[in-house]
A = this chain, B = another copy of it.
Amino acid sequence: MQPASETSDNVLTERQRDVLDAALGLLVEAGDALTMTSVARRASCSKETLYKWFGDRDGLLTATVQWQASKVRGVPVKRDGLDIVSLTGGLERFASDWLRVLSGKISVALNRVAVSHAGSDKRDLGAIVLENGPFAMARRLMPLLEVGREAGLLTFDDTEEAFRTFFGLVVRDVQIRLLLGDRFELTDVTIDGEARRATQQFFALYGAHNHVAERGRSTQR
Contacts and interface: CB of A to CB of B under 8 A. Distances in A.
Given A115-B115, A134-B177, A177-B130, A219 B200 contact: yes
Chain B CB within 10 Å — which of A164, A169, A176 has the most?
A176
Among all A-B residue pairs, the 6 with the closest Cβ atoms:
A116-B116, A118-B181, A126-B181, A168-B172, A168-B168, A126-B180
A151 interface: no
A179 interface: yes
A136 interface: no
Interface in A158-211: 164-165, 167-173, 175-177, 179-182, 196-197, 200-201, 204-205, 210
B179 A115 contact: yes
Q: How many of these chains are in the complex? A: 2
Interface residues of A, number: 45
B177 A176 contact: no
Contacts of A176: 111, 133-134, 175-176
Contacts of A177: 130, 134
